[in-house]
Amino acid sequence: MGASGFSAGVHFVLEGKEHALIRKIDGDVWQAEERRTKRIVEFTDLHLRELYLDGRLKFVSSQSAPATTIGKPGLVDYSAEKWDKAKVRRAYVMAVIDLPNYRPRLIPIIQETWRTLQRPTTAPDVATVMRWKRKFIDSGRDITVLIEQDDQKGNSRARYPDDVIKIIKNAIEKRYLTRERGTVQDALDQARADVIRENALRPDSIALPQPTRRIVTRLIEAIPAFDRCTARHGRTAAIKRFRGVHAHRTTQAPLERAEMDHSLLDLMVIDDKTALPLGRPWLTGCIDDYTRCVLGIYLSFEPPSYFTVARCLKHAMLPKVHLRRDYADIRNPWEAHGIMRELVVDNGTEFHSTSLQNACFTLGVEIHYAARKTPWFKGKIERFLGTLNRAVTRGTPGKTFHNVFEKDEYDPSKHAVVRYSVLKEIVYTWVVDVYHQQMHRALESSPAAMWAKTVAQDSIQLPDDPARLDAILGRSEKRSLSHKGIELNGLFYNSSELTELRRRLGDKLDVEIRVDASDIGQIIVFSPDGRQMFSVSALNSEYAAGLSEWQHRVCKRLAGKEQLQHSPNGWLSAKTRIAELIEAEFMFKKQRSRTRIARYKGDAELLRGGAAESTVDPATEQSAAIVSMPVSATIGKRFKPVYRERKVADGESD
Is residue 591 scored above 60 in pLDDT?
no
Q: Is 367 exposed, middle or buried (0-12, 13-18, 19+ CB in 10 A)?
A: middle
DSSP states of 535-560: EEEBSSHHHHTT--HHHHHHHHHHHH
DSSP-assigned letters across all residues of 68-106: GGSS--TTS---HHHHHHHHHHHHHHHHHTTS-S-HHHH
What span, in angstroms and rounded, lies between the C-alpha atoms of 281 and 273? 17
Q: Which runs of E-coded beta strand occur in 9-48?
A: 11-14, 17-25, 29-34, 40-44
CB-based contact 621:646 (threshold 8 Å):
yes
What are residue 592's phi and psi, to 5 degrees? -65, -40
Nearest by Cα to 163 from 110, 207, 116, 228: 207
**313 phi and psi, to 5 degrees?**
-60, -40
Inter-residue contact 349 to 648 (CB < 8 Å): yes
Q: Is the pLDDT of residue 86 over 60?
A: yes
Q: Band the pLDDT of 577: cuts 50, 70, 90.
A: low
Residue 295 has pLDDT above 80, yes or no: yes
Listed ranges 160-174, 237-251, 602-616, 636-650; the one with the highest mean pLDDT: 160-174
Does the pLDDT of residue 38 top 60, yes or no? yes
Q: Cα 304 to the chain's mean position, in Å?
A: 18
Q: Between the ranges 323-337, 386-400, 408-422, where is the mean pLDDT highest?
A: 323-337
Amino acid 216 reads V
Name which of 553, 550, 582, 545 is nearest 303 in CA terms. 550
CB 536 within 8 A of CB 500: no
Rg (C-alpha) for the chain, rounded Å, is 40
The rounded distance, in Å, linking the Cα atoms of 605 and 612 is 7
Q: How far apart are CA 508 and CA 68, in angstroms?
A: 82
For residue 254, what pLDDT is reported?
92
Q: Distance (Å, rounded) from C-alpha 307 to C-alpha 296?
A: 14
Q: Is the N-terminal amide bond of 124 cis, ω within 30° of 0?
A: no
- How far apart CA 191 and CA 172 sit, in angstroms, is 8
Question: What tens digit of pLDDT does each residue of 463-481 get?
Answer: 877 777 777 788 888 899 9
pLDDT tens track for 230-282: 999 988 888 878 876 555 567 888 999 999 999 998 888 776 665 666 778 89
Mind listing the pLDDT tens digit for each residue in 492-527? 999 999 999 999 888 899 998 888 877 888 888 988
Lowest mean pLDDT among 45-49, 200-204, 344-348, 599-603: 599-603
Q: What's the first-to-final CA gap in the chain, in angstroms? A: 69
Which string of DSSP letters, residue by residue, matches 147-183?
A: S--GGG-S--S-SS-HHHHHHHHHHIIIIISSTT---
Quick one: average pLDDT of 18-35? Answer: 87
CB 600 within 8 A of CB 608: no
Stronger pLDDT, 50 or 551, i.e. the higher one = 50
- Identity of the amino acid at 272: D
Report for 155-164, 319-328, 558-567: range of highest mean pLDDT: 319-328
Is the pLDDT reported for residue 286 higher than 90? yes
Q: Helix count (H) and strand count (E) of the chain?
A: 23, 18
**DSSP-derived pairing of the beta strands 342-345 and 366-369:** parallel
- The CA distance from 51 to 55, in Å, is 6
Which of 59, 69, 55 minimizes the C-alpha distance to 18? Answer: 59
Do residues 357 and 369 make contact, with C-beta atoms less than 8 angstroms apart?
A: no
* Dist. CA 10–CA 61, nearest whole Å: 8
How does pLDDT run across 102-149, given as a tens digit for each residue? 888 899 999 999 999 988 889 999 999 999 998 888 877 888 888 887
**Has this prediction a pTM greater than 0.75?**
no
